Amino acid sequence: MHDSTPLLTWDIFCKIVDNHGDLGVCWRLSAQLAAQGQRVRLWVDDAGALPWMAPGALEGHWPGVQVMPWRQPMSALDLEGLPLADVWIEAFGCEVPAEFLARFMPAVESTGQAPVWINLEYLSAESYVERMHRLPSPVLQGPAAGQTKWFFYPGFTPRTGGLLREPDLEARQAAFDRTAWLAAHQIAWHGERLVSLFCYEPKALGGWLNQLAQGPEPTRMLVTPGRAAAAVQAALSGQQAQREPPQWGSLSFSYLPYLPHGAYDELLWACDLNFVRGEDSVVRALWAGKPFVWHIYPQDDDAHHAKLDAFLNWLDAPGSLRHFHHTWNAISPEPLPVPDLPVWHACVQAARERLRLQDGLASQLMQFVAEKR
């Protein structure tokens, strides 16, 4: 942290929807702000994933980050003795609770110094992101009527808020030893192709596993726990892979436990091809620089189709990678193509180089707050 960087207190509000991504992004942001000397209170309504995602977080072992229970409704006891923060962040469409505003707005009105209030939006490569980034949003009703929120959009281009990136990420990856990491995680590896699987329930999964099993190249699938593992077991129902050791033709399986954030990065570095899902892991896949396929979060109105295509356009995805994404995300009924890993790798490497030229999300948020204060 530079001497000129003010030490501020940040309230970050995170409401869990149905997966780990919201908490993953909010935790990474909290940890990165704290690493730059900021004080963060992370308000979360379900912190059940933090013990494996960030061991020690609930016990207060991460300097600068305090995990706060977001009970609904908030009680006076939850807020007793807390000073007014310098920044309020509403992550992913959640709202600062009315009880919280009622507690702190008198102090805002008496001092005339309001926190910088940020609406941190979802990640997208669509064109509206650049138009909406940093725009004001007046608060028209409730205890905070008359205040202003600011839209802040993460993104992939210089006219957006950037992506979360730790300052030591490249150094960590450069020092990574794949063989030692696999051995430490008791993954039997004999030089075969390694593929990580973190997904929802793609309809194309069974066909993909069959393609690997019948293919000429030995492949080991490293399956993450939860929905991905359940999807694999459902796809393999009745197959030979249900036996021990798990093996089906050219395809073998290793089922992983939940991994802390740092170890998940290392999983991506260890693999030759990564399947990721949602927002947090696709960013980590980009920084890993390995070929990857993104299972975008599905929406009932199919709005994710345009969102995926905008991302593939930004990525400058070659035809085979675009085709694979469309089938994997149930946009196209065509069979999955055979991955062209050298071409996919070159594509991701070029995208990562573009991203390296931009400031990260945490740094941009700090710069924005400094401007508004």
Tokens of 353: 């180089």
Residue recorded with tokens 């704290």? 34
Stated length of the chain: 373
Which residues are designated catalytic? 22, 279
Q: Which two tokens stand for residue 320?
A: 């085979």
Q: Which residues are 194's β-sheet partners?
A: 220
Instruction: Report the alpha-carbon distance of residue 324 to residue 275 in Å, rounded.
Output: 11
Rounded distance between C-alpha atoms, residue 101 and residue 18, angstroms: 26
- C-alpha dihedral, 333 to 339 to 340 to 344, nearest 10°: 90
* Angle (deg, nearest 10), helices 21-35 and 261-270: 110
* Encoded amino acid at 235, one letter: A
Identity of the residue numbered 160: T
**Residue 67 belongs to what H/E stretch?**
strand 65-69
DSSP letter for each residue of 244-300: SS-EETTEEEEE-----HHHHHHHHHH-SEEEEETTHHHHHHHHHTS-EEEEPPP-T
Helix then strand then coil, in percent of the chain rounded to 5, is 40, 15, 45
